[in-house]
Structure 1
Amino acid sequence: MKKFGLLLAGGIAAVILLSTIGPLVGLAVSLVLLYFIFKQFVKADSTWAKVGLGIIGFVVLMASIHNTPAIIGIAAAYVLYLVYKKWNGTKSTVIKEESDPFANFEKQWNEMKHY
């Protein structure tokens, strides 16, 4: 039953992720453009160049805000990642006592105190 729930959640997340591919690509492109426009804005010396780059940057910022459904796609990708992690049974790494240097230090310290 657990596998069926994971399969259902993964299927729904995959469909949502596939339906938001367009906004994801649009958001990525607009954020890259915004980054380069900002770098040119900082380098610009003249006031008119800064005004022009500011206007272009504002337009690109509005385009990236327009792609807010991409946030749902990012959340769906994260859910898909969690389903994949649970399906394969990978667990978070737990430090074993023999490999933990602090636990080993405590054990050796207690042995030294007895001598």
Structure 2
Amino acid sequence: MKKFFLYSAAFITAIIALCLLAPVAGLLISGALLAAGLHYYTESKSTFGKVMSLVVALAGLVSALSNIPGFIGLAAIGVLFYLYKARKNEKIEFLPGKKEEEDPFTNFEREWANLNK
């Protein structure tokens, strides 16, 4: 029964994500406008160039903030990714940290314990 609910939720989320694919593309374009405006603002030497870059960045910001269906589409894609990982029983790390094997102090302690045996 758990698999049935998991597949049902994934199916509904996939339909929502597909329906909101165009607003997500619009959100991507708005974000690109915002990023381009901020990039050219930092690179510009003249006052006119800075003002025009800020106008482009503000247009991208207003466009991105007013695109609520795009944010819902992004959330649906995120939930779909989570359900896909849950189906495969994979652990999802939102903030990946250092693994124990990569920590040099843990390796040192393990080797020191092996030497003292």
Structure 2 length normalisation: TM-score? 0.72
Residue 3 of structure 1 deviates from its aligned partner by 1.1
In the TM superposition, what are the counterparts of 1:24-35 in structure 2 within 5 Å? 24-35=24-35
Residue 71 of structure 1 deviates from its aligned partner by 2.0
Structure 2: give runs of 5+ residues left out of the alignment.
Answer: 93-99, 101-105
Contact 2:35 2:57 in 1 (8 A): no
Of 80, 91, 108, 2:114 maps to 108
Structure 1: give runs of 5+ residues left out of the alignment.
Answer: none
1:7 partner letter:
Y
**Paired residues, what number?**
106
Bigger Cα Rg: 1
Following TM superposition, the consecutive aligned residue runs of length 4 or more in structure 1 with deviations greater than 3 angstroms are 89-92, 100-111
Identity of aligned residues (%): 32
Contact 2:32 2:60 in 1 (8 A): no
Change (3 A) 1:48 1:107: closer
Query: What CA distance in whole angstroms lies between the structure 2 residues aligned with 1:62 and 1:27?
Result: 11
Higher relative contact order (CA 8 A, sep 6+): 1
Contact 2:31 2:64 in 1 (8 A): yes
Structure 1 length normalisation: TM-score? 0.73
> Match for residue 60 of structure 2?
60
Query: What CA distance in whole angstroms lies between the structure 2 residues aligned with 1:49 and 1:82?
Result: 43
